[in-house]
Amino acid sequence: MKKTLAIWALLAAALSPQALLAAPTDADAARAAAEAKARAAWNDKVTAYKLCVAQDRVAAHYREQMAANGKSAPEPVTTPPCMEPEPFTFNAEGTQPREGSGAHSPAETAQRPPSSSTPENGEKPLAK
């Protein structure tokens, strides 16, 4: 009897209006997925920055060791400076859906027909 009562209580709690309102929607899931994608891209930038800094440290240490041993180090290869990424920010309102991105924009208006009897070089058309 107690088991049946407990099951009914759980079922009533699960189907209550508050439980249904708290359920995530498709928009929330899409926003969470977009945020996860943006965070992963930012993490990639941070990792690349840390790798760049570590490589610079290793190169500097190598040059110091070569100089300490009385050897000349080869000429360094010029590389772009390490760029530290900005702090992570996510703006879901700033993202556009695929339809609004302009990817499917119509072509520009044609200035002349695609084919004509007059050649582009201005010569007379060939007789048939």
pLDDT in tens, 59-108: 999 999 999 999 998 888 888 999 999 999 888 765 555 555 555 556 67
| 10 vs 15: CA distance, rounded Å | 9
User: Residue 59 burial by CB count (10 A; 0-12/13-18/19+): exposed, middle or buried?
Assistant: middle
53 domain residue, yes or no: yes
Model pTM score: 0.52
Instruction: Give the number of domains in the chain.
Output: 1
Residue 7 has pLDDT above 80, yes or no: no
16 domain residue, yes or no: no
127 domain residue, yes or no: no
Buried b (16+ CB within 10 A) or exposed e, 85-114: eeeeeeeeeeeeeeeeeeeeeeeeeeeeee
